[in-house]
Amino acid sequence: MNRALLRCSVQLSKQSPVLALRGLRFQSTSPYKKKYYVDPEPQIGDYPNLPQEFYEDRPQRGWWDRQNRRNFGEPVPEQIEILNMWAPTQYWSPGWKMVGKMWCGFILTLGTVFFVISKARGERPYVRAFYPYGGLKEELGGVPSRTMAKSIEEAALEVKK
């Protein structure tokens, strides 16, 4: 563990045990693996310990065997079933920033399309129906002279009775 981090965690633990738990992190002693890092393999003997390079990532042309992207006499990796061209495709997944940008772009495009459609929509192809006498309230059995305030007053009077 890093000594400076240890000192910092000891100082935090004196102040508050909760802060000490939050601030404590363990540093890994192993270095991060590079792209073609090869682990030492004691069981393969004198066979070359090849990096794990997917054949799908190799260029398409310039190979003796164009279908599998191999040259004649090239040593075969130990995990050829996973690395060759017949293995499942390696999919690249974008980072969260790029996914967020894609979603924002999608929503912005969708909103723009809806806005343009709402502004570019023409007039209605029909005329609204017009009914005389306040929309035929009397003909359909409604009370045309009653307002909402009058209805509330009448309901309050009926409740008091």
- The structure's pTM equals 0.37
pLDDT above 70 (res 83)? yes
Which pLDDT belongs to residue 110?
Answer: 98
Share of the chain above pLDDT 70, in %: 66
For residue 113, which amino acid is it? V
b vs e for 79-94, b when ≥16 Cβ sit within 10 Å of the residue's Cβ?
eeeebbeeeeeeeeee
Separation CA 140–CA 134 (nearest Å): 11
In the structure, what pLDDT confidence band is assigned to residue 26 with cuts at 50, 70 and 90? Answer: very low
Return d(Cα 92, Cα 102) in angstroms, integer.
15
